[in-house]
Amino acid sequence: MGLQLYDLAGAEPERRFSPYCWRVKMALAHKGLPFDTIPWRFTDKDAIAFSGQGRVPVLIDGDQIVFDSAEWGLNDLPVGCELPISTAREWGLFISRAIREGESPEFSEPGMFLVRPNGTLFYAARSSAPWGRPPFDQMLRGIDIATERKMPARGEA
């Protein structure tokens, strides 16, 4: 059995919204490591009790269970919620202000950038709304199709 990742899901299993889980999925995809995701909800504490903690991400690699991102060497992989506002602005991300208690005073809305091995931008997507996040598995399938068909990025004229 390959890598399995317990991934925070909403009421609909395809709605995945944890930036910490995204970070792991991005790193695994970047390294070319295939993995399966297992939708997990806050009420499913028993499902990950074997990990000794009550939160995700939890990655299973054979008989090894990893839940501390420091063990994955991912601490330098930037995820939007951890970007300084100045960097988010440089990347052209939309900046929002808190509308409810517990939110950061200012934060960036989602963006995804795919960079070619030579350092040039292949794909950029920015969203001004929290529901603008495409399901990550669909993005990965789209990237695979574009790569297989040698499809160029658009808007380069």
Written as six digits, the tokens of 26 are 């991005």
Give the residue-averaged pLDDT of 75-89. 68
Tell me the pLDDT band of 51, cut-offs 50, 70 and 90. confident
The pLDDT value given to residue 75: 56
List 106's β-bridge partners, or say none: 97
pLDDT digits (tens, 9 = 90+) for 99-154: 888 777 888 887 878 777 787 777 888 888 766 666 777 777 788 888 888 887 77
Architecture of the domain made up of 1-75: 3-Layer(aba) Sandwich (3.40)
Written as six digits, the tokens of 157 are 């004229």
Q: What percent of the chain has pLDDT over 70?
A: 82
Higher pLDDT, 141 or 44: 44
3-state secondary structure the chain: CCEEEEEEECCCCCCECCHHHHHHHHHHHHCCCCEEEEEECCCCHHHHHHHCCCCCCEEEECCEEECCHHHHCCCCCCCHHHCCHHHHHHCCCCEEECCCCCCCCEEECCEEEEECCCCCEEEEEECCCHHHCCCHHHHHHHHHHHHHCCCCCCCCC
Tell me the pLDDT band of 98, cut-offs 50, 70 and 90. confident
Q: What is the pTM of this model?
A: 0.50
pLDDT digits (tens, 9 = 90+) for 58-80: 988 888 888 765 666 555 555 54
Sheet holding 58-61, edge to edge: 35-40, 3-8, 58-61, 64-66
The pLDDT value given to residue 76: 57
Give the residue-averaged pLDDT of 13-29. 78
CA proximity to 7, closest of 34, 49, 33, 36: 36
Domain spans in the chain, listed from the N-terminal domain onward: 1-75, 78-151
